[in-house]
Structure 1
């Protein structure tokens, strides 16, 4: 009975919440007939995902290709941000002078809207695809830098004192002491960063075009296909949820 009760308590609230969401959606669609209801959207989704990888030219491809292209851009931009942001965060957290020097620059650039960086990317790279990757990079690097620096700065001083007594090199201090101690902060920064990257890519692709979820949403809006826009919203949410859950599973493996 306890097991059954635990399963019920775990499963029932999400089902009830989803049912309320669908009822609200039905009510709004009845008040605003231009908004498709759940049934109509479901039929369109079944048809759409029955052949997600078709290709009828460069601007007419299945939703599967759009998802993969968006994920590829996010992976590239986020990977570049991680390669630069995490080591930079280590340096800022380890050396107070460097941190004090960089803090005004980070405080100035971090609040800038991601799309404000898009014209700079187009100007420098002269192409839409690298400009979109640039926007992802510059938007997702700040959580990595800040959280890594915070984690490194919070390493207990006793650990560093022992390392000084043992005459450890700076490399060993970074890899054997700071990295394990700061890992929870780094993983939190990664989670925040990948979330920002996935949010930004849709808006960036709307403006740059090409194959991707953002361009697909804008194209469907131009075709007044509202069902596909709603489907895209759910796809973006589901993919973002899967990315976050994967990172949560990764974080549990590094619980120091």
Structure 2
């Protein structure tokens, strides 16, 4: 209770409110400058409120509520993120623990890391024969790199004294992994996961625009085809809010791990 009503807590709330007011002010200026061609906050709120009245309606393949669209996107994001993490963490551990692994895999990472998710999409379609699998594929392949790189850095930065302790006590490989390597590298791994989930959430919009069907990205594209800029802006707000919540979730996990490591 003391933390909630502390000065720092009050300042955080004040800064957050200030940020929202700044956003609304800039948004209103842009709307006025474009002659209301870009809807302002009030017009967007009216449509946004209507969307929230029945977010889970289902009137057919191309007419579903924003709640269904959002949930579909979240499932794809976490599927791709989970698959990417399963690849990234073991490879990062290998690269960080082995100079040979680093020299062998690092050039491959640097070549593949900058590739756009849109470039991966045709390969995903070819491999999985369906847009759903292709979308999950591009999320996995583009979101794994921050986790891989941060994991490798965390493992490679383990102090030599820690390694010597393991050798002095005759730790087995498993005991060294669970008692020294993973605990020390865990904060770096969580940092990588935090960055990766942000990338995964950004990629989903582009992926669903290409794949169609259900999802927040398809909703944006469909709203554009329907000339509803208010719906597009509402979707952008939802995307931003969900991204903020995901970042806060991993930030809390990062703080917990950092605290445990002290």
TM range (shorter): over 0.9
Q: Distance in 2 between matches of 1:91 and 1:175?
A: 15
Q: Distance in 2 between matches of 1:68 and 1:116?
A: 26
| 2:189 counterpart residue number | 186
Q: Distance in 2 between matches of 1:103 and 1:17?
A: 40
| SS of the residue 1:210 aligns to | coil
Pairwise CA distance, 1:124? 1.1
Q: Distance in 1 between matches of 2:78 and 2:11?
A: 36
Structure 1 residues 134-145: aligned runs within 5 Å: 134-145=137-148
- Alignment match of 1:81 (pick from 53, 73, 84): 84
Structure 1 163/222 Cα, relative in aligned 2: closer, same or farther at 3 Å? same
Pairwise CA distance, 1:13? 2.9
- Alignment match of 2:55 (pick from 52, 56, 76): 52
Structure 1 97/213 Cα, relative in aligned 2: closer, same or farther at 3 Å? same
| 2:23 counterpart residue number | 21
Q: Distance in 2 between matches of 1:168 and 1:85?
A: 25
Corresponding pairs, count: 254
Q: Distance in 1 between matches of 2:183 and 2:217?
A: 38
Query: What is the CA RMSD across the aligned residues, in angstroms?
Result: 1.4
| 2:200 counterpart residue number | 197
Ranges in structure 2 where 5+ consecutive residues have no aligned partner: none
Q: For residues 128-162 of structure 1, give each alpha carbon's deviation from its aligned partner in whole angstroms, at most 9, with x where no partner exists.
A: 00000000000011111111011001111111111
| SS of the residue 2:254 aligns to | helix
- Alignment match of 2:67 (pick from 64, 67, 70): 64
Q: For residues 99-152 of structure 1, give each alpha carbon's deviation from its aligned partner in whole angstroms, at most 9, with x where no partner exists.
A: 101111111111111211011101111100000000000001111111101100
Structure 1 6/77 Cα, relative in aligned 2: closer, same or farther at 3 Å? closer
**Is 1:249 aligned with 2:240?**
no
| SS of the residue 1:111 aligns to | coil
Pairwise CA distance, 1:8? 4.9
